[in-house]
C-alpha cells in the first residue's frame, strides 16, 4: 500500500496515463504496454475516468500497431540478411559463424 500512489485520484489516473501515452511517441512504444500493465487494476474500477481509459486503450492499440512492423522486420532480416551482401553485413552487430 502506497498512499502517494497517483492511481488513487481521478486526476492522478489521467495524468499518469497521459504521460505514458505521450511518452510512447518518442520512439518508446514499450511505454504503451507499460501503461496498460500499470493501469490495468485501476481501469477495472467503476469510478475510473473515461479519459484515462481512452489513453490506456490507445496505448495498447499503439503498442500492437508498432509490434507488427517490428515482427515483420525481424522475420525479413533473419530470412534475407545473407542475400543482402555488404548491406546485410553492415547493419549486423554480430555476424554468426557459418554462411
Percent with pLDDT over 70 in the chain: 94
Classify 44 as helix, strand or coil.
Answer: coil
Please name the residue that has the C-alpha cell 500499470.
Answer: 38
Q: Report residue 10's pLDDT band, with 50, 70 and 90 as the boundaries.
A: confident
Classify 96 as helix, strand or coil.
Answer: coil
For residue 99, pLDDT beyond 70 = no
Q: Which residue has the higher pLDDT, 93 or 67?
A: 67
Q: How far apart are CA 36 and CA 18, in angstroms?
A: 11
Tell me, what's the pLDDT at 2? Answer: 61
Q: How many CB atoms lie within 10 A of CB 79?
A: 9
The H-assigned helical ranges of 1-99 are 10-23, 30-43, 50-80, 86-90
Tell me, what's the pLDDT at 8? Answer: 76
Tell me, what's the pLDDT at 71? Answer: 97
Tell me, what's the pLDDT at 82? Answer: 86
Q: How far apart are CA 36 and CA 89, in angstroms?
A: 37
Tell me, what's the pLDDT at 98? Answer: 66
Question: pLDDT tens digit string along 36-71?
Answer: 998 988 888 888 899 999 999 999 999 999 999 999
pTM above the 0.95 mark? no
Amino acid at each position: 500500500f502506497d498512499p502517494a500512489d497517483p492511481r488513487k485520484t481521478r486526476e492522478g489516473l489521467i495524468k499518469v496515463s497521459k504521460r505514458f501515452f505521450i511518452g510512447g511517441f518518442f520512439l518508446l512504444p514499450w511505454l504503451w504496454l507499460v501503461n496498460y500493465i500499470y493501469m490495468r487494476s485501476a481501469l477495472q474500477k467503476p469510478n475510473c475516468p473515461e479519459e484515462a481509459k481512452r489513453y490506456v486503450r490507445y496505448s495498447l492499440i499503439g503498442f500492437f500497431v508498432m509490434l507488427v512492423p517490428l515482427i515483420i522486420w525481424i522475420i525479413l532480416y533473419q530470412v534475407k540478411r545473407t542475400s543482402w551482401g555488404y548491406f546485410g553485413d553492415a547493419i549486423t552487430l554480430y555476424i554468426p559463424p557459418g554462411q
